[in-house]
Amino acid sequence: MTSLDPAAPSVLVFDVNETLLDIESLGPHFERIFGDANVLRTWFGELVTYSMTLTLSGYYVDFFALGRAVLQMVATIRDVALTDDDVRSLAEGMRTMPAHPDVAPGLAQLRADGYRLVTLTNSPHQPNVSSPLDNAGLGDFFEHQFTVDTLGVFKPSIHLYRRVAAQLGVDTSQCMMVAAHTWDTIGAQGAGMRSALITRPGNAPLVTAGVPQPNLLACNITDLASLLKPRPGRPPAAEATLH
C-alpha cells in the first residue's frame, strides 16, 4: 500500500498487546493449565469481547482483573480446576511479555523520521509497578503511555482516541492508530484518526461494505516505518495525562 501524504499524520498512537508485545509468550501458561497452548487465543478473544461488553453496558473493571475473571470462566467451561498459582503466573506473564523483534528498530526509525510516538492500551497502570512496555525495554521510545483506566471505558470507544488527541494538543486527523486488531483501527477511524493495521499472524482486515479500511497495511513495525515518509521536523513533545 502506498505511503500517506507526508503532512499527516504527525502522531502515531500504538496499541500495546500483540501489536508491540508478543502475547504468544503466554502460550506455555495455557499449555500447562489446559494442556493446549491454543486456548490462549480463546481466552484473549473472550477478554476483548467482555471488555467491549462492559463498556457498552456501562460497567468497568480493570483489564487485569477482567483477564483473571475470563481465565476462570474459560476454566469452568472446560472443567479445569484453576489454582492461585495459575492466576499469579499468568498475571506475571502479562506484565513481562517480550517485544516482537521488529519493534525496537521500527520505533527507532519512526522517531528518527520525526513522528511523535505514544501508546494507548486497555491495560491499566499500577502504582509503583513498571508497565509491560517498560519491562520490555520500550518505554523510552514513547512520549506518553496512555491507558483506559482513568476514563473507565475500553477500546474501541471513540472517546478514548479523541481524548488522547486532545491531551496531546492535536486534532484527531493528525493521529494514526497503529494496531494489530481491526476493531482497534475501526474505533480510531470512527473518532477521526487514520489507522495502520499491523498484520501479525492471526490478524487481517475486515473487508465489507460499510466498514472503514485501514489507511495502511504493514506486516510489522519496521515495515510500517518503510511505508511512512519522514516528516520535516518533530513538533515539541507535550506533557500529557489522560484524565
Whether 236 has a pLDDT exceeding 50, the answer reads no
Q: Of 149, 136, 146, 161, give the one whose Cα is nearest residue 238.
A: 146
Distances in whole angstroms, Cα of residue 60 to Cα of each of 48, 109, 160, 193: 13, 37, 14, 25
In this structure, the strands spanning 216-218 and 194-198 are parallel
What span, in angstroms and rounded, lies between the C-alpha atoms of 17 and 23?
A: 7
Query: Measured between alpha carbons, how far is residue 25 from residues 69, 97, 126, 127, 218 in Å?
Result: 20, 6, 21, 25, 22
User: Model confidence at 7, in pLDDT bands (50, 70, 90)?
Assistant: low
| Phi, psi of 116, rounded to the nearest 5 degrees | -80, 135
% of the chain residues with pLDDT over 90: 86
Alpha-carbon gap, residue 157 to 180, rounded angstroms: 17
pTM equals: 0.91
Cα separations (Å) of 151 from 58, 61, 69, 113, 243? 12, 11, 21, 32, 6
pLDDT tens-place string over residues 142-172: 999 999 988 999 999 999 999 999 999 999 9
